[in-house]
């Protein structure tokens, strides 16, 4: 009871903030669901509501979330990836949320570093700048120079990321409130269940939990850096693990030109189109070659080195695509660009995404409504990110589940296209990656690749046969011990088959053996597009 009272009181204060920014509408249903009379909302609007001019709903929402602090800023950034729930315009407005907050004191930063790393600042760094270079919603960053060692005789310039004091407790309280609101909405507002408020908050909570442990963020950076090892066009900072802990992360300092600073690049003598080509290649390699991509590649997290290399920081949000998902996405987009909408629909069907209650013909018609308007238009006037977003919207309208990773990928495509158009409005960034795309398609989706993959899968099944036989032996032993009871209807079928009962038993044992062996490795055989895909060990199909 006390918890509910505290939540309602906090909810009213949040509603007041939303009213000041003319963004109260999303809260009306939640407040009423909490048992608050409409008159309460009317009073809040009357006392605190303001004229919002010509600001869009998404812009007003972003301003309100910014004022509410770190948890709500991060929530807005997560919501910006869900254009399927809130529409492209609102998602785009939320993507502009800036988490530049007042910094906390250097005394607190030093105290956190010394406690986490177990040594005085003077022993860890030859120089430590008390003035932070940036202050975000969850952490802030200080420049420093490490103590000289054999690898860096003069000391190494680094960036030290420190979590805000008390941020874990503050975020936990806000997440509990948001989860309480989400459950309340789902119970009291059936029409809003399609927005999946509980799932949204849980996704937000999972994202924040990674950012609350800087060791996990450092591990994400290390994986991305390893994927681009030996590639001079894409630079990920090296992590100083000796000076990294749960609340402190120390990484190589990268300096360069902001990704959207056209004049700065020209002044440095860089070729804009060459920079965009490197950015497009890096994006494609992350998403399709590696299946692991930086999930927040906005200009604030990206710079261009003075040698023209793309440089990234901030690895709190990362996306991962399974091999099956990458192949599905590639086949879908290829068929779409070829205007073969029936093939696109079949790709969805073969992947098991199209519910049986909807017809393929209806889905094909919906796909055509997206594809035909862009046919024949110049590439520089086509946003492939928006096309992908429309495809996801259509899928959602046909009751298909769209993977959050694909939505995160689409958000990053939107960001990349926006930066590209600011740097060179006459160029479509994705045409620059065309040679890579064509080679990847030949290597992974061409006839020879399909034969090779089918062969590899057959060999995999052969290699797995001994484990299947072991599981069959376990199952037969289990039967002999009386530990497995057959369904009465199954026994009736066996009796009707007469002398062939043993054949049915063998079939049942084989199937069960395959199922039991699934704990070691699953085989997924889907027709056409994903059928010949040997999945990596440990991958699962959603």
Angle between helices 88-95 and 57-68 (to 10 degrees): 40
**Catalytic entry in 84, 93, 99, 296:** 296
Closest CA to 129 of 141, 143, 140, 117: 143
Q: How many CA atoms lie within 13 A of 541 on its CB side?
A: 18
R_g of the chain computed on alpha carbons: 27
Pairwise CA distance, residues 218 & 383, whole Å = 33
Q: CB-based burial of residue 381 (10 Å sphere; 0-12 exposed, 13-18 middle, 19+ buried)?
A: exposed
Q: What are the structure tokens assigned to 227, written together?
A: 């994927």
DSSP secondary-structure letter at 530? T
Per DSSP bridges, beta strands 157-163 and 139-146 are antiparallel
By CB neighbour count within 10 A (0-12 exposed, 13-18 middle, 19+ buried), where does 271 fall? exposed
Cα separation, 243 vs 124, whole angstroms: 8
Are 508 and 493 in contact by the 8 Å Cβ rule? The answer is no
Residue 81 has φ and ψ, to the nearest 5°, of: -90, -5
Scan for tokens 């189109």, then name that residue. Answer: 273
Reference 171, options 142, 198, 201; nearest CA is: 201
Partners of 234 in beta bridges: 310
Beta bridge partners, 310, equal 234, 304
Asked if 327 and 530 count as a contact pair (C-beta separation under 8 A), the reply is: yes
307 is catalytic: no
What does the DSSP assignment read for 148-212? Answer: P-SS-TT--EEEEEEEPTTHHHHHHHHHHHHHHHHHHHHHH-GGGGGG-HHHHHHHHHHHHHHHT
Catalytic (active-site) positions: 296
């Amino acid at each position: 009871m006390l918890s509910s009272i505290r939540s309602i009181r906090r909810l009213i204060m949040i509603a007041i903030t939303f009213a000041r920014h003319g963004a109260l509408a999303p809260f009306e249903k939640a407040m009423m669901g909490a048992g608050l009379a409409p008159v309460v909302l009317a009073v809040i609007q009357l006392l605190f509501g303001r004229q919002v001019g010509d600001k869009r709903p998404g812009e007003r929402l972003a301003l309100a979330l910014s004022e509410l602090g770190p948890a709500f800023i991060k929530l807005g950034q997560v919501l910006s990836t869900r254009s399927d729930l809130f529409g492209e315009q609102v998602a785009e407005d939320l993507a502009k949320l800036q988490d530049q907050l007042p910094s906390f004191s250097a005394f607190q930063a030093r105290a956190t570093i010394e406690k986490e790393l177990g040594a005085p600042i003077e022993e860890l760094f030859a120089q430590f700048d008390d003035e932070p270079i940036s202050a975000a919603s969850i952490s802030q960053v200080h420049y420093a120079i490490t103590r000289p060692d054999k690898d860096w005789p003069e000391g190494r310039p680094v960036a030290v990321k420190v979590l805000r004091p008390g941020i874990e407790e503050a975020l936990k309280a806000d997440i509990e409130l948001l989860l309480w609101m989400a459950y309340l909405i789902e119970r009291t507002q059936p029409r809003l269940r399609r927005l999946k408020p509980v799932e949204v908050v849980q996704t937000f909570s999972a994202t924040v939990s990674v950012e609350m442990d800087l060791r996990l963020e450092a591990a994400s950076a290390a994986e991305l850096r390893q994927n681009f090892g030996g590639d001079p066009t894409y630079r990920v900072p090296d992590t100083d693990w000796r000076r990294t802990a749960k609340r402190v992360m120390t990484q190589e300092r990268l300096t360069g030109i902001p990704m959207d600073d056209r004049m700065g690049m020209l002044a440095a003598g860089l070729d804009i189109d060459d920079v965009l080509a490197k950015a497009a290649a890096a994006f494609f390699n992350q998403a399709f070659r590696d299946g692991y991509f930086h999930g927040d590649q906005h200009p604030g997290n990206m710079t261009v080195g003075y040698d023209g290399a793309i440089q990234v920081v901030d690895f709190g949000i990362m996306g991962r695509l399974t091999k099956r998902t990458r192949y599905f996405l590639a086949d879908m987009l290829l068929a779409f660009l070829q205007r073969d909408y029936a093939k696109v629909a079949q790709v969805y069907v073969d992947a098991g995404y199209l519910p049986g209650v909807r017809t393929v013909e209806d889905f094909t018609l919906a796909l055509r409504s997206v594809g035909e308007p862009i046919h024949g238009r110049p590439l520089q006037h086509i946003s492939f990110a928006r096309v992908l977003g429309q495809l996801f919207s259509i899928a959602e309208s046909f009751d298909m589940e769209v993977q959050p990773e694909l939505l995160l990928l689409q958000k990053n495509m939107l960001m990349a296209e926006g930066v590209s158009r600011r740097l060179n409005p006459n160029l479509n960034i994705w045409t620059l990656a065309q040679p890579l795309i064509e080679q990847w398609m030949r290597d992974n989706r061409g006839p020879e690749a399909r034969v090779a993959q089918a062969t590899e899968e057959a060999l995999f099944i052969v290699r797995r046969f001994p484990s299947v036989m072991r599981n069959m032996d376990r199952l037969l032993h289990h039967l002999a011990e009386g530990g497995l009871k057959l369904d009465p209807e199954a026994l009736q079928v066996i009796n009707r088959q007469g002398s062939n009962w043993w054949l049915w038993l063998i079939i049942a044992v084989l199937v069960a053996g395959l199922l039991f062996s699934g704990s070691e490795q699953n085989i997924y055989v889907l027709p056409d597009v994903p059928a010949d895909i040997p999945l990596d060990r440990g991958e699962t199909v959603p």
